[in-house]
Structure 1
Amino acid sequence: MTKSERFEQGLKNRQEVVGAEYVERAYDKAGDFGRDFQDIVTEYCWGASWGRQALSRRDRSLLNVVILGTLGRNAELALHLRGALRNGVTVDEIRDALIHLSIYSGIPAGVEAFRIAQDVLNDWNAAHTDATEEKGQQQ
């Protein structure tokens, strides 16, 4: 895969997992100063890593949730929890992954990860309930 192909695949993966709006905001906020960094994130994280085939997106999402929760990277954890839900990870799988994180990374990391996950799930459920209600009213 060429650099350009890796970037294009990364951009596609990134938009599908975290949302096109998020990616656009990340580039906009980066401005001229951070644009090169956003290109590196897109090409290498989302193209060279997420573009590989041995692990599914679902599996990668679970890995990221546990890694980011362990590292205490809370904003990225919330982002990747939403991505995990988009990638078909269930609430039960997220719960079990966070319990696993708690045992191996420490209870304080687990407490924070569960708090963030609860906030994300509340927002996710509210957004999907609203969308379902709107769809029902249109019919």
Structure 2
Amino acid sequence: MIKDSQYDAGLELRRHMFGAAGAEDQVENTTDLNDKMQEVVTRYCFGDIWQREGLDRKTRSLVTLAMLVATGRSHEIRIHLRGGIANGLTEEEIRELMLHSFLYCGIPAAMDGFRAAEEILAESRETANA
């Protein structure tokens, strides 16, 4: 793996959005099969594209969630809901994004998004109340 300032910035953003489980744990538990993918995600996704000016992190989270709903990526929706909450998304914004998605993605995709949102928002509330 190439570790440089771009990689470090990506790891720091992953840590902010997803905690240690989505940052160090992911990187430290790579295998020969997936180590290059973890490097790509850390360096280019979070160390480059997510760091660009033009869109703030909250907006990037909304855009990312919309694309994940549209493509039916339930596992990634859950991950990015956690990241979106860390980036300042409110429950109302998440609800409106999911509701809006049914117009353009269809009811089944929107319902998958709502199910994921219910789960992650409940988890977030429990953490906040602990």
Stretch deviating more after TM superposition (104-113 or 23-32): 23-32
Looking at structure 1, the residues matched to 13 and 109 of structure 2 have their Cα atoms a distance apart, in angstroms, of 28
Match in the other structure for 2:104: 104
Stretch deviating more after TM superposition (13-22 or 93-102): 13-22
How does 1:10-49 map onto structure 2 within 5 Å? 10-49=10-49
How does 1:1-139 map onto structure 2 within 5 Å? 4-130=4-130
SS at match of 2:103: helix
Greater C-alpha radius of gyration: 1
SS at match of 2:88: coil
Stretch deviating more after TM superposition (104-113 or 14-23): 14-23
Q: For residues 4 and 27 of structure 1, do their structure 2 counterparts lie closer, same or farther at Cα, with a shift above 3 Å needed?
A: closer
Stretch deviating more after TM superposition (12-21 or 46-55): 12-21
Task: Return 5+ residue gaps in structure 2 as ranges.
Answer: none
Q: Which amino acid aligns with 1:91?
A: E
Task: Return 5+ residue gaps in structure 1 as ranges.
Answer: 131-139
SS at match of 2:51: coil
Under a length normalisation based on structure 1, what TM-score does the superposition of the two structures give?
0.85
Give the fraction of aligned pairs with identical amino acids, expressed as a percent. 35
C-alpha RMSD of matched pairs (Å): 1.4
Aligned length: 128
